[in-house]
Structure 1
Amino acid sequence: MMATNGQHIYLVDDDEDDQFLLQGLIKAHSPATSVQVLGDGEQLLKALEAAESLPTLVLLDLNMPRMNGMEALERIRTSKAYANLRVIILTTSDSEQDRQAALRLRASDYLIKPGSHHQMNQLVSAIKHSWL
């Protein structure tokens, strides 16, 4: 179901706590934005293929089972249909190697999940202002 303002986010993360927290913060900052939660890269690719219209934004974790975020990003970027899809890597990985690899694959941004609820709230606010 699409939000009335057309803002739609795919939240791709296998961590249920992060799913719950991020979903709540997105709703708090942008109540009209709809959020679809997906558990891994395979679910993301299936959702994109089935979507009538592409999401406004994809928040993509790196460390997931089956297909991780880097693999999913690579698959997305090989498809012309998703050339302009905005994909933000949102991960616990502060590895410079991961950051460089994601940016080489044309990730829109690479953000590290903060440790506190307050910092995550600030991060979601910044994402809203920059990307929605």
Structure 2
Amino acid sequence: MPQANNQHIFVVDDDEDDQFLLRQVLIQYTPNTSIRVLTDGEELLTALTDEQSLPDLVLLDLNMPRMGGLEALRHIRADPTYDRLPVVILTTSDSDGDRQQAYDLKADGYLVKPGTQQQMNQLILTVKRQWL
């Protein structure tokens, strides 16, 4: 089981409101975790290359400018360096096609962004249990 301290999460999402909400809930439920917010897949790939160590988890939105989540996931899974990196799609899309494509690209999970704060709290608790 991973250490409860010093975990690092990348939140990759271009929506400022979603970034803020995710940060707040993650800080509340995983207080010893550092959070790095990135706005698209290109920033994610650069950050993964530049970091000294891999994050413990990537929460990845699908619909972003420059490079979306599925394309970023395709790049990540093509590089054996990232074989053990947990990547969970966190998106507004409840499309079966998007979900299937994400799993075909070896996403570790696919979660639809909830509509309420309470649902977001529950979602982050699920993320914590399953991937942190």
Give secondary structure in 2 for the equivalent of 1:111: strand
Q: d(CA) in 2 for partners of 1:65 and 1:14?
A: 8
Equivalents in 1 of 2:104, 2:81: separation in Å? 19
Q: Following superposition of structure 1 onto structure 2, how do residues 92-131 of structure 1 map, counting pairs within 5 Å?
A: 92-131=92-131
Unpaired runs of 5+ in structure 1? none
Provide runs of 4+ in structure 1 moved above 3 Å. Answer: none
Aligned match of 1:42: 42
1:57-95 residue CA offsets vs partner (Å, 9 max, x unmatched): 000000000000000000000001111110000000000
- Residues 12-51 of structure 1: matches in 2 within 5 Å? 12-51=12-51
2:73 corresponds in structure 1 to: 73
SS in 2 for 1:120: helix
What is the root-mean-square deviation of aligned Cα atoms in Å? Answer: 0.9
2:9 alignment counterpart: 9
TM-score with structure 1 length normalisation? 0.96
Q: Percent identity?
A: 59
The one-letter code sitting in structure 2 at the alignment partner of 1:85 is L
For the residues of structure 2 that align with 1:37 and 1:55, how far apart are their CA atoms?
Answer: 12
Equivalent position SS for 2:36: strand
Unaligned runs of 5+ in 2: none
After TM superposition, the score normalised by the length of structure 2 is 0.96
The alignment covers a number of residue pairs equal to: 129
